[in-house]
């Protein structure tokens, strides 16, 4: 038994040493991976900063006359749009006037008087109808209802 305990202790010591070596390797690999990830972000940030500076420098040199050119083009477009809008407005006014003239020629103005007369007549007829319906609704005295009970087998007088 003593030898079994000694061998068990040796095996435990060996596995402990192997576990510690494996843990150290794993920790080292994990740390290296994290540092590489951070290095990648740093590299990307440096490249982006260089590119941003290049773009700023490019547009600082080339846009000297570009803004004024764009403003001039915008003014030309504005004049064109305003002219087109005025032309469209004039056409719309002309079309409206000709259409209203056609409608006025087709519909006589005397028809409005006739419409007013008919509306007044409708109002008087509605009043007459409501008065007549009120008269018809007034309750009349009901005559008595004949409530004779029918003779059935149960209520019929028995013949003696």
Percent pLDDT > 90 in the chain is 26
pLDDT tens-digit map of 85-144: 999 999 999 999 999 888 877 776 666 677 888 899 999 999 999 888 887 776 655 555
Give the Cα separation of 48 and 62 in Å (integer). 21
pLDDT score of 146 more than 60: no
- pLDDT for res 2: 59
- State residue 125's pLDDT score: 94
Write the DSSP symbol of residue 107.
Answer: S
Whether pLDDT at 39 is above 60: yes
pLDDT of residue 91: 94
Residue 151 pLDDT grade (very low, low, confident, very high; cuts 50, 70, 90): low
What is the reported pLDDT for 82?
Answer: 93
Q: Residue 109: what pLDDT? A: 66
- Non-local (6+) Cβ contacts of 149 within 8 A are 155
Name the DSSP letter for residue 109.
T
The owner of tokens 């409206």 is 96
Phi, psi torsion values for 57, nearest 5 degrees: -65, -40
Q: Look up residue 89 and give its DSSP letter.
A: H
Q: How far apart are CA 103 and CA 105, in angstroms?
A: 5
Distances (CA, A) of 28 to 1, 18, 33, 37, 102: 40, 15, 9, 14, 94
* pLDDT tens digit sequence for 54-75: 877 777 776 667 777 888 899 9
- Tell me: pLDDT of 150 over 70: no
Question: Which is more confidently placed, 144 or 11?
Answer: 11
- What's the count of helices (H) and strands (E) in the chain, helices before strands? 3, 0
């Amino acid at each position: 038994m003593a030898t079994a305990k000694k061998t068990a202790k040796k095996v435990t010591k060996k596995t402990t040493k192997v576990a510690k070596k494996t843990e150290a390797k794993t920790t080292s690999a994990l740390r290296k991976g994290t540092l590489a990830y951070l290095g990648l972000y740093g590299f990307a940030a440096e490249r982006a900063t260089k590119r941003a500076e290049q773009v700023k420098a490019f547009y600082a040199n080339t846009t000297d006359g570009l803004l004024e050119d764009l403003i001039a083009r915008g003014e030309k477009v504005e004049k064109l749009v305003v002219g087109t809008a005025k032309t469209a407005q004039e056409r719309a006014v002309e079309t409206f006037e000709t259409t209203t003239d056609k409608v006025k020629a087709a519909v006589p103005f005397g028809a409005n008087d006739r419409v007013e007369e008919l509306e007044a007549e409708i109002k008087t007829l509605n009043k007459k109808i409501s008065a007549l319906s009120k008269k018809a609704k007034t309750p009349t005295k009901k005559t008595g209802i004949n409530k004779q009970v029918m003779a059935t087998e149960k209520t019929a007088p028995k013949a003696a």
